[in-house]
Amino acid sequence: MRRIAATLAVVVALLFSAGSAWATSRDAADEAIRFEKYVSKAENGDVDAQVTLGMMYDNGWYVAENKAEAFKWFLRAAERHDAMSQMLVGWAYATGELVPKDLVKAYMWWALAKAQGDEDAGGNLDIIKDEMTAADISEAQRLAAEIWEKINN
């Protein structure tokens, strides 16, 4: 009787283990399908999907962490009028950690975010303008106006 109970316990454990492995592989397949849907939507201009992909790559959610890929998606969303992405792209240019440091581009993106009401953008502009020339600021404002016009048309 003990042998039957022990055998039954082993069989149940094996079945549970196989079920868990199947559920895990099924979950991974579902996640891959969801991820591909985000990619498809993002590539077709869906700003929310672009931001989501940026966050996924930035944090390593469901994909390997890839800051360059995250920046690519945040930039696409920033170009489509997403203020949060504009802040993140501006930060990347201001710090030079991911892309070459470019205060003109940082100022431009933060100016666009500020124009949309992002309260932190104004503080960021105040900080970096001390490191910029009047010509740099003028160029950044010109570029921001160009992008603003492009976004709103």
Q: pTM of the prediction?
A: 0.78
Of 73, 79, 81, 111, whose CA–CA distance to 94 is shortest? 111
Among the candidates 66, 94, 111, a domain finishes at 66
**Does residue 86 share a domain with residue 61?**
no
Q: Is residue 149 part of a domain?
A: yes
pLDDT band at 25 (very low <50, low <70, confident <90, very high): low
Tokens of 153: 């048309």
pLDDT of 61 reads 87
Most confident of 6-15, 22-31, 58-67: 58-67
How many angstroms from the chain centroid is the CA of residue 38?
12
- The reply to whether 61 and 29 lie within a common domain is yes
The residue segments making up the domain with residue 52 are: 1-66
In a domain, 97, yes or no: yes
Percent of all residues in the chain with a pLDDT value above 70, rounded to a whole number: 83
Q: How many domains does the chain have?
A: 2
Statement to judge: residues 16 and 44 lie in one domain? yes
Rounded mean pLDDT, 11-34: 55
Round the average pLDDT of the chain to a whole number and report it: 85
The verdict on 58 and 106 lying in the same domain is no
- The residue among 38, 66, 94 that closes a domain is 66
- Over range 108-115, report the average pLDDT: 96
Q: Residue 152: what pLDDT?
A: 81
Task: Judge whether 88 lies within some domain.
Answer: yes
Same domain for 34 and 88, yes or no, is no
- Residue 72 maps to a domain: no
- Give the whole-angstrom CA distance, residue 103 versus residue 36: 35
Residue 57 tokens, joined: 């790559």
Are residues 2 and 46 located together in one domain of the fold? yes
Instruction: Tell me what pLDDT residue 136 has.
Output: 97
Please indicate, yes or no, whether residues 153 and 86 belong to a single structural domain of this protein.
yes
Contact 59, 65 (CB under 8 A): yes
pLDDT at residue 126 tops 80: yes
- Same domain for 18 and 50, yes or no, is yes
- 73 pLDDT exceeds 70? yes
71 in any annotated domain: no
